Amino acid sequence: MSFKNKTALVTGGAGFIGSHVVDRLLQEGAEKVTIFDNFIGGQFNNIKHLIGNPRVQLIVGDVRDFDAVKPLVQESDFIFHEAASKLVASLKNPRIDLGTNIIGTFNILEASRDSDARIVQISTGSVFGSSDKPMNEEHVKNPTTLYGISKLTGEKYGLFYAKEFGVKASVLRYFHVFGPRQDYHGEAGVINIFLSKILNGKAPIINSGGEQIRCFTYVSDDVDATLLLAQKKEAIGQAYNVASKTRMSINELAKIIIDKYADKPITPEQGDTRQGENLKPIPDTTKIEKLGWKEKVSFEEGLENTKKWIEQDMKDTGNSF
């Protein structure tokens, strides 16, 4: 199975990861890719290079709107459900978090009941909580945030619809993704935030003590996994973890970026403890590796790519920290 001459829907397609999925689908020969985004989290700059492309359709809409979602689902061969209310946003507006991550996911699945489309439903490592040992897909789920709760609920809907209604859905859990197009002004995306601070000669702020471990994964490797699941029949009705083998603390990350890119000595500042912070959300990725996925981009290469993108974006937009 390939994407040549196929139609695809990418919800959240103007977002950080979603826009990279759109680009890859076009590279893989998709005949038509529909970007569906409400532009709350998505950015026009992420897709401006696609405007005017006859193979791209941009629709401004919200996954909470079933009437908007249904016809798009039913005309698509592949659906990549990237739209989500992110972790930080869930604290500020739990109702939007619930509506987007649960109702929005339900709408995609319900619209697919009389469709033959393949669905890759994006979830998160936040469904697990923390563990001293790597967590495989069946590890007990103990989310510590509203975001983790809503994403876990969405997962359960997806796997139920696959088992009971024959919807061709797979669940993919991302962990600590970074790369070009990730917002460096927000409260999530620690690599991009640290890079932009340090490139502007400012101290990064380390929250929750900095001993929390992260497994930073470059965005193109997550895109590889996303498209892989869409093409594997055996992935239907299954959940997968995807993450790099790079494991480091936030304190270690700050030191690496300062040592590599700072023009002057910089000492990180200590910030607040974040609600629900997971100290060791470390996955076991054996299952997706058996399916054929492997990490291709090293942390060092990804970091350099991201740094160059941030420098160019700050130059183009006049943005700085």
Q: What is the pLDDT of residues 6-47, one digit of tens each?
A: 999 999 999 999 999 999 999 999 999 999 999 998 999 999
How many Å apart are CA 83 and CA 17, to the nearest integer? Answer: 10
How many Å apart are CA 198 and CA 260, to the nearest integer? Answer: 10
Structure tokens belonging to residue 182:
């990730």
The rounded Cα 181 to chain-centroid distance in angstroms is 12
Q: Is 250 exposed, middle or buried (0-12, 13-18, 19+ CB in 10 A)?
A: buried
- Residues with Cβ < 8 Å from 131, sequence gap 6 or more? 139, 280, 281, 282
pLDDT given at position 200: 94
The superfamily CATH assigns to domain 7-177+217-242 is NAD(P)-binding Rossmann-like Domain (3.40.50.720)
pLDDT given at position 23: 98
pLDDT given at position 1: 52
With a pLDDT cut of 90, the percent of the chain lying above it is: 88
Beta bridge partners of 178: 218
SS3 171: strand
- Beta carbons of 239 and 137 less than 8 angstroms apart: yes
pLDDT given at position 276: 80
Determine the CATH number of domain 179-214+246-281+296-317: 3.90.25.10
Task: Give the pLDDT confidence of 241-271 residue by residue, as tens digits.
Answer: 999 999 999 999 999 999 999 999 999 999 8
How many Å apart are CA 181 and CA 176, to the nearest integer? Answer: 14
Torsion of CA 86, 90, 91, 92, to 10 degrees: 100
Q: Torsions phi, psi of 240, nearest 5?
A: -135, 140
Q: Where are the alpha helices (DSSP H) in 206-285?
A: 219-231, 250-261
Ramachandran class of 169: left when φ > 0, alpha when ψ lies in -120 to 50, beta otherwise: beta
How many Å apart are CA 211 and CA 247, to the nearest integer? Answer: 12
How many Å apart are CA 293 and CA 311, to the nearest integer? Answer: 31
Report, as residue numbers or ranges, the catalytic residues.
147
The rounded Cα 297 to chain-centroid distance in angstroms is 17
Structure tokens belonging to residue 311:
């420098």
Going from N- to C-terminal start, the domains of the chain cover: 7-177+217-242, 179-214+246-281+296-317
Q: Is it the case that residue 299 has pLDDT exceeding 90?
A: yes
Q: Is it the case that residue 275 has pLDDT exceeding 60?
A: yes
| Mean pLDDT (the chain, rounded) | 95
Q: Hey, do 7-177+217-242 and 179-214+246-281+296-317 end up sharing a CATH topology, with the first three levels equal?
A: no
Task: Give the pLDDT confidence of 149-182 residue by residue, as tens digits.
Answer: 999 999 999 999 999 999 999 999 999 999 999 9
Q: What is the pTM of this model?
A: 0.96
Instruction: Indicate the pairing of strand 56-60 with strand 32-37.
Output: parallel
Task: Give the pLDDT confidence of 180-229 residue by residue, as tens digits.
Answer: 999 998 777 999 999 999 999 999 999 889 999 999 999 999 999 999 99
Torsion of CA 85, 295, 46, 150, to 10 degrees: -10
Structure tokens belonging to residue 177:
């993704």
- The mean per-residue pLDDT over the stretch 294-320 comes to 93
DSSP element (H, E) containing 33: strand 32-37
Instruction: Indicate the pairing of strand 7-11 with strand 32-37.
Output: parallel
Structure tokens belonging to residue 195:
């890079």
Closest to 275 (Cα-Cα) out of 24, 134, 87 = 87
How many Å apart are CA 277 and CA 275, to the nearest integer? Answer: 6
